[in-house]
Amino acid sequence: MIHARDLARTFKTKAGSVEAVRGLSLDVAEGELVAFLGPNGAGKSTALRMLTTLLPPSSGSASVGGHDVVSDPAAVRRQIGYVGQGTGSGPYHRVRDELVSQGRAQRMSTMAARKRADEMLGMLELDGLADRPCASLSGGQKRRLDVALGLMHTPPILFLDEPSTGLDPHSRANLWDHIARLREASGMTIFLTTHYLDEADTMAERVMVIDHGVMIADDTPARLKADLAGDTIHIRLLCNDQLSHAAEIARNLPDAREATAQGRDLAVTLRDGEAVLPEFIRRLHQSGIEAMSARVVRPTLDDVFLGLTGRSLREAVSA
Amino acid sequence: MTFFSDTTISFRREIGPTLRSWYYILFGLVQPLLYLALFVPLLGNVPGPDGASPLQWFVPGMVVMLVLFTTVSCGWSLTEELMSGSFERLLATPMSRPAIMVGRALKELAPLLVQALILIIVATPFGLVLHPLPMLLGLAMLMLFGVGVASLSYALAIASKHDGSLFYLVSHSVALPMMLLGGVLLPMTNAPGWLYVASRFNPLTYLVEAERALFSGDLASLPVLSGVLVAALVAALGLTVGVSQIRKASL
């Protein structure tokens, strides 16, 4: 559904040229839900804007829904719903009017657009707001309206640029409930950008990590975490004089990467913590070492980002 | 024709909020009516051709001024939508880009048409002689000109990158000299030589002259032809620049 080859975009600024996206290649199959994860300024939105025909690429090529973004942008636009970072609805326009004119803009007949508008109002819990000016909606309602606008013409592909930024946790969860349900019903392909780790982690089936305009990882969240960060087993020992012996046993565990010891606490990072933990405790026991407590800490995508770039995504976001 | 249906879609989207605040259209009439009431009486000794009422040449000038000032500043309304993201949303649809602009421009022009008609009706009892067909043609020519100026204003709004004061500075430092040099308030025929020569380089001059000819019922004349040509040129230029700005806009 989405293919890009060596996509690049350079912006000219007073300070010189800035390479926002540098040689991006990606493939997204029909029905996939893919997230672009990266800090602010990583090039996520620039890449998305090229895929949605809003920004011409400086070099490289991309096709979306079977059409080239440069040579046939109008055909691409008919295939996609686009929910940008900002508010899509006009402040002085009424909710239903915006939905209908969006449907008309996407080549629907007025009748079909009216019918679909009422359907979308119901689906995204916006009933009762149809005749209100869009400016009077709450943040969460505005965002749901943006999604409704993007889905008016039932596009096979939906692009979402930072869909839940600025929403409170409740509205975020609510928005995602709706998107997940709509996707289940239609099987559409969804491509989103986010700098929320938990969002990419729980919602996306595939995460593309992007930093400085380059894709540095592309896999399922589970495999990214297993390969690039791994689980950590934390063990507290009964006696601290056995710590060095225990650390040695830890280092010999299958797939063990790194073991650190301090006081009575031992931490070992490895691929699959839950599967190895019983064996670890058994080996300790065989050597006469008793564990007081044990826990497995699963990695987050932040650990993945840290492993890939040496920087924490949280620092990168606030920076 | 997608261009025309898209223009209709764009116009209908934009006109909704305008119709709901129709009282602004009436409010927009205050200024030209003040000119009529407080300025026209001073023109008693500047009669029109063949001794006609000064209203016969003042009202068309007033209508041109109304169109110029409203369309020159209408890019400002786009700035808000450029920043919020609702303009971007429309750009992600297959709508024709010139049609998006023309629809928006027509939304600015529709209230002006109403205002111009009211102005004509109000001035009639005070001596304005009606020439319905030429006057309507004059208004149509102004709409064409207005689409061009509005498109240039949208282009300026995009180019000034959300900088409201820059937009205001540029648009008004263009509009005011254009208005004064166009002989909107007083005919340029009474101007000293250098001012008259300068006014011949102002496209608005030809538009004002054409509008005055049409308001006197003079249909087939050189000023009318020049005016229509200038209006068409401004429209073509405006749309070309406007569309290229939209395409270049890396918002």
Q: What is the pLDDT of residues B85-105, one digit of tens each?
A: 899 999 999 999 999 999 999
Task: State the pLDDT at residue A47.
Answer: 93
Q: What residues in A contact B85, CB-CB < 8 Å?
A: 84-88
Residue B76: the pLDDT is 85
Q: How many domains does chain A have?
A: 2
Which residue of chain B has the CA closest to A85? B85
Residue A305 lies in a domain: no
End-to-end CA distance of chain A: 34
Per-residue pLDDT, averaged over B75-89, amounts to 87
- Search chain A and give the residue with CA nearest B100: A105
Q: Provide the chain A residues 107-136 that lie in CB contact (below 8 A) with chain B.
A: 107, 133
Residues of B in contact with A86 (CB under 8 A): 83-86, 88
Inter-chain residue contact B86 with A88, CB threshold 8 Å: yes
* pLDDT tens for each residue of B152-195: 999 998 888 777 788 888 888 888 888 888 888 877 777 888 88
Query: Do residue A214 and residue A262 come from a single domain?
Result: no
For residue A93, list chain B residues with Cβ-Cβ distance below 8 A. Answer: 13, 16-17
Nearest to A179 by CA among A154, A152, A144: A144
Of B81, B92, B247, the CB nearest to A52: B92
The residue segments making up the domain with residue A216 are 2-220
Q: Residue B1's beta-bridge partner residues?
A: none
Give the best-scoring range by mean pLDDT among B11-15, B194-198, B246-250: B11-15
B92:A78 CB<8 A: no
Q: What percent of chain B has pLDDT over 70?
A: 95
User: Same domain, yes or no, for A184 and A56?
Assistant: yes
For residues A65 and A175, state if they share a domain.
yes
B contact set with A (CB within 8 A): 6, 9, 12-13, 16-17, 20, 80-81, 83-86, 88-95, 247, 250-251
Residues 6+ apart with CB under 8 A from A299: A225, A229, A230, A231, A232
- CB-CB neighbors (< 8 A) of B89 in chain A: 82, 84, 88-89, 102, 146, 149
Map residue A309 onto helix, strand or coil: helix
- Same domain flag for A134 and A251: no
| Residue A146 pLDDT | 94
pLDDT mean values, one per 10 residues, chain A (319 residues) = 93 83 93 89 90 92 94 94 92 95 95 95 91 92 93 94 85 87 89 84 89 90 84 87 85 83 87 88 89 88 81 63
Phi, psi of B30 (to 5 degrees): -55, -45
Q: Would A309 be classed as within a structural domain?
A: no
Q: Which of A190, A220, A250 is the last residue of a domain?
A: A220
Residues in chain A closer than 8 A to B20 (CB atoms): 92
A317: in domain? no
Domain boundary among the residues A170, A186, A220 is at A220
Q: Which residue of B has its CA nearest to A11?
A: B250
Q: Has residue A204 been placed in a domain?
A: yes
Question: Interior CA angle at A107 toward A125 and A156, to 5°?
Answer: 60
Burial of residue A34, with CB atoms counted within 10 A of its CB: 0-12 exposed, 13-18 middle, 19 or more buried: buried
Report whether A153 contacts A101 (CB < 8 A): no
CA distance B8 to chain A (A): 10
Q: Does residue A203 share a domain with residue A98? A: yes
Q: Are residues A181 and A50 in the same domain?
A: yes
Count of other CB atoms within 10 angstroms of residue A278 = 10
Which residues in A lie closer than 8 A to residue B82 (C-beta atoms)?
none
Q: Pick the residue with more confidence: B48 or B111?
A: B111
| Predicted pLDDT of residue A319 | 42
Q: Which of B93, B161, B245 to mutate to test the interface with A (most CBs of A within 10 A)?
A: B93
**Do both A117 and A203 map to the same domain?**
yes
Assess whether A89 and A153 both reside in one domain. Answer: yes
Q: Note whether B250 contacts A101, CB cutoff 8 Å.
A: no
Q: What's the distance, Cα to Cα, between the start and end of chain B in Å?
A: 29
Residue B21 has pLDDT above 80, yes or no: yes
Residue B193: count of CB within 10 angstroms of its CB: 7
Q: A45 and A157 in one domain?
A: yes
- State CA A28 to chain mean position distance: 14
Instruction: Check whether B250 has a pLDDT greater than 80.
Output: no
Chain A residues 78-107 within an 8 A CB cutoff of chain B: 78, 80, 82, 84-94, 97-98, 101-102, 104-107
A42 and A191 both lie in a single domain: yes
Do A243 and A278 lie in one domain? The reply is yes
The interface predicted TM-score (ipTM) is: 0.85
Bridge pairing between strands A2-13 and A157-161? unpaired
* A238 part of a folded domain: yes
User: What is the CATH classification number for the domain harbouring A249?
Assistant: 3.30.70.100
Residue A306 lies in a domain: no
**Would you say residue B80 has pLDDT above 90?**
no
> Is A319 a member of any domain?
no
Q: Is residue A316 part of a domain?
A: no
pTM: 0.85
Q: How far is CA B67 from the centre of its chain?
A: 3
Domain match, A151 and A294 both: no
B88–A102 CB contact, under 8 Å: no
Q: What is the CATH number of the domain that holds A92?
A: 3.40.50.300
